[in-house]
Amino acid sequence: MVWIFEIKRELINQRAVKSEVKESNIGYIRISSFDVDADKDFSKELNALKAKNIKGLILDLRQNPGGYVSSCLEIADELLGEGMVVYTEDINKNRQVYNSKGDGLEVPLIVLVDEGSASASEILAGAIKDREAGLLIGTKTFGKGLVQSVESLKDGSGFKLTTQKYYTPKGISINKIGIEPNIEVKPMEIKEDQREEDIKDLQLERAIQEMLKQIK
């Protein structure tokens, strides 16, 4: 017997930004990638948390591979006061500086990062750390900090050309170095026969502990 199914092709939109309220009224926002609407979705989720009078915010950038730097900069406006977020520099030492122009967050901020946090995630995390706007917890980030463009060739092929590098406000090159957290916390080692209910998010648990210290 042969079964024939008609499949309708559609664009699947996944939510890149999700939020919830943790214990002791601590806000939590997870950004899985900096897609084209991440800044708008972040603002919506943050305002919803503010309406609930959160006492602190945990921003989860773990396993976030990056995305649109423009979205990252818009989110930086929500979290940081006026000042530098990142700058790029080419081989001739020509710089382009990107600044935040918001009022900043009015509650304590903690950012979760790991080796999967890359590119735009590192730009945001690096700015927060350098400007002492929040605490970074987790493991060192990936280390991807290049500005690249795709150049086309006559035969239809192309190549990526690196034109600049990203630097944190304190002048630290992100590329191949990454961002070191303020507090290193490695994830729990999961065994093959381990039950799901016994698996703990040690990094998030530490973030909540540190946040409780700050809001008290």
Which listed residue (33, 60, 121, 144) is catalytic? 144
Annotation marks residue 149 as catalytic: no
Considering the candidates 130, 152, 173, 186, report the single residue annotated as catalytic.
130
Neighbours of 216 (CB within 10 A): 7
Residue 130 is a catalytic residue: yes
End-to-end Cα spacing for the chain: 67
119 a catalytic residue: yes
* Catalytic pick among 39, 119, 121, 129: 119
Q: Among all residues, which ones are annotated catalytic?
A: 119, 130, 144
